[in-house]
Structures are given as C-alpha cells and as structure tokens.
C-alpha cells in the first residue's frame, strides 16, 4: 500500500502544521474542522508559513503554490473516510478524540489507516474505540511542526508491523526523524519535558524565584533555548496540565502531581500565548512576566 491522500482532523496550531508539511511533501491533504473560521485561519497561517520558507530559500514560489493547491479544507468529517491516512489532531482530551473516531468510523474505507497526534494519551485505549486497532498509530509531531525535526511513533498493543512501517516511511518522506516509543503515558518527549515545566511552576509557586529569574536561569545556566515558563506559555498551559494529569493518573506517582499554581492559571483562563496571558502577559509589544 502507498499513502497518497491524508486527512487531518483539527485545524489548530498542530493540525495546520501537519497539513503544511504533508502538502509540501507531495501528499493530497483534506483539512477538517467543525469551524469554517478555524479553517480559514489555518489556510492563512499555512500561506504565511510557506511564504516564510520561500523568503529563506527553502521553497520556490512554484513549490508554495503547489503545496497550497494540495490542501482542501472541509467541515464534513465524513469526507475523510475514503483517504489513505487520517490523523486526528484535536484538543488533548480523550473523550473528544474518542468521539471523533467513533463519528468517523461508519465512513471509513477498509484500507484507511488511523493515527492520532496525541502528546500523552494511551494509543491502545484510543485504538480500542475503533474497528481497526491493528491499523492505528500514534504520530506525535513536535510544535511548531514545519520547523521541528522529530516525530514520535507510538504503537498500540494491537498495531501491526505493516502500519508501523508505512508511518515510518511517511516520517522519512517528510524529511523528519522518527523516535519509537512504547505506549506509556506521555511517551518520551513529554514524559521528560512536561514534569520539568511542572517543577518550574513549583519553583515559582514556592517563591524560590520569579518568572524572569527562573527562565533566565534555565536559558543561561542549562543552555535551553527557551525558559520552562516561556515554553509552557508557547505549548499552552491547558495542554501542560492535561499531560501532567495523564502522567499522574497513569503512573500513580506523586512526583507527577500537577502544581496547584498551574491549575489556577488554567482555571483563570490564563493559557499562555493563545489567550494572551499566562506566565507572561502578551498584550503589549513585549511579553511581561505576570509574577
């Protein structure tokens, strides 16, 4: 089997990035969202990001036009059912993801492979909600998708070798590097990264340092390109909290207990860059620490 057509469910930051890289690699892409406004914003974002690649000499104008022509937006989930591969990239909530797969199932072609871009949720459990757990994979792209080179490949307990090999070939065609992970909570990257962010939240919560000091310490003392609180705002504090909750629930270890301050920020709707306020306030010309 050769993968030629790809569906992407969810036109947010991750979904539009996945559509972008799939189209530039030559796949025909159907981008789905329940909101036409979200789809319009996604196409505009992809256009801007492709233009940025043109300015950097990474693509020609013809390449950009070709990539954009390969992406078709739709609000009709059923249209994705006959494609070769469908990647779900909706919000990091298991009930939402399971509901999407259940809604898509009656429309699926026998050959269609299903994948999820989840950053933490059990692949085995999501696969069990479908009629094809053997053709179900975790394809976890890093953010921002057009820039980051890694894709985590996660097999569920039932995933067959052919499905894994096809997904691995796609990662290579995208010019990215695959890291294979077992199906444990948060996989590899977020199992290491998000607890570090959570610990930075505790350092702030306990008054050991303020936002600026914590981020400066890790950038200059550990040579990190972004401080952990700045990174949390970039990822989305709600996503960070969801991953910590998956780790805490899945591994039953108190070292994964979400920081109460992180919980409060999410309860307040302070989700980071996407809400213009998190550990930094983004309403002005320059981000300003909120603590």
Q: What are the beta bridge partners of residue 28?
A: 5
CATH of the domain at 171: 3.40.50.720
Q: Are residues 90 and 149 in the same domain?
A: yes
**Do 26 and 167 reside in the same domain of the chain?**
yes
Strands (E), 15-66: 28-32
Tens of pLDDT, residues 18-61:
999 999 999 999 999 999 999 999 999 999 999 999 999 999 99
Domain that holds residue 54: 5-182
Query: What value does the mean pLDDT of the chain take?
Result: 96
**What span, in angstroms and rounded, lies between the C-alpha atoms of 177 and 182?**
17
Total number of domains constituting the chain: 2
Output Rg (C-alpha) for the chain, integer angstroms.
19
Both 272 and 171 in a single domain? no
Same domain, 153 and 251: no
Pairwise CA distance, residues 135 & 61, whole Å: 37
157 and 275 belong to one structural domain: no
**Which residue numbers belong to the known binding site for NAD(+)?**
10-15, 33, 92, 97, 119, 143, 274
Q: At residue 132, does pLDDT exceed 90?
A: yes
Residue after which a domain boundary falls, among 182, 211, 228: 182
In this structure, the answer to whether residues 198 and 175 fall within a common structural domain is no
- Summarised one tens digit per residue, pLDDT across range 189-201 is 999 999 999 999 9
**Is residue 283 flagged as an active site residue?**
no
End position of a domain, from candidates 151, 182, 213: 182
Q: Is 20 a catalytic residue?
A: no
DSSP 8-state assignment for residue 257 = P
Each residue's pLDDT tens digit, 204-235: 999 999 999 999 999 999 999 999 999 999 99
Residue ranges at the known binding site: 10-15, 33, 92, 97, 119, 143, 274
User: Same domain for 223 and 172?
Assistant: no
> ∠ at Cα 141 (157, 43), nearest 5°?
130
pLDDT at 1: 80
Active site residue 55: no
172 and 213 share one domain: no
Task: Return the percentage of the chain with pLDDT > 70, whole number.
Answer: 100
- Which of the listed residues 141, 165, 182 is the one where a domain comes to its end? 182
* Residue 154 near residue 167, CB atoms below 8 Å: no
177/199 same-domain check: no
Active site residue 152: yes
pTM of the predicted protein model: 0.90
265 contacts: CB under 8 Å, gap ≥ 6: 237, 271, 278, 279
Q: What mean pLDDT comes out for the span 147-164?
A: 97
Among 224, 239, 253, which residue's Cα sits nearest to residue 190?
Answer: 239
Q: Is residue 148 located within the same domain as residue 260?
A: no
59 and 157 share one domain: yes
Based on the fold, state whether residues 10 and 123 are members of the same structural domain. Answer: yes
């Amino acid at each position: 089997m050769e993968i030629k057509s790809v569906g992407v469910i969810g036109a947010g930051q991750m979904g539009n990035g996945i559509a972008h890289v799939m189209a530039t690699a030559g796949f025909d892409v159907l981008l789905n969202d329940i909101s036409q406004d979200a789809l319009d914003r996604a196409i505009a974002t992809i256009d801007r990001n492709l233009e940025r690649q043109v300015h950097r000499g990474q693509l020609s104008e013809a390449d950009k036009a070709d990539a954009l022509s390969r992406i078709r937006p739709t609000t009709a989930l059923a249209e994705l059912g006959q494609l070769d591969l469908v990647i779900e990239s909706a919000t990091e909530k298991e009930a939402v993801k399971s509901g999407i797969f259940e809604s898509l199932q009656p429309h699926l072609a026998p050959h269609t492979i299903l994948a999820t871009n989840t950053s933490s949720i059990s692949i085995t459990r999501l696969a069990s909600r479908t009629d094809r757990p053997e053709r179900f994979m975790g394809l976890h792209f890093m953010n921002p998708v057009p820039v980051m080179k890694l894709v985590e490949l996660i097999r569920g307990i039932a995933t067959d070798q052919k499905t894994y090999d096809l997904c691995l070939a796609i990662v290579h065609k995208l010019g990215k590097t695959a890291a294979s992970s077992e199906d444990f909570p948060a996989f590899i990257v977020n199992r290491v990264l998000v607890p570090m962010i959570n610990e930075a939240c505790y350092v702030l919560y306990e008054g050991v340092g303020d936002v600026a000091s914590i981020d400066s310490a890790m950038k200059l003392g550990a040579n990190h390109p972004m401080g952990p609180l700045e990174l949390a705002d970039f990822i989305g504090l709600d996503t960070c909290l969801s991953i910590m909750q998956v780790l805490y629930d899945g591994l039953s270890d108190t070292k994964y207990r979400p920081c109460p301050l992180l919980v409060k920020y999410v309860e307040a709707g302070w989700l980071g860059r996407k809400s213009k306020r998190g550990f930094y306030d983004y309403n002005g010309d320059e981000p300003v620490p909120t603590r």
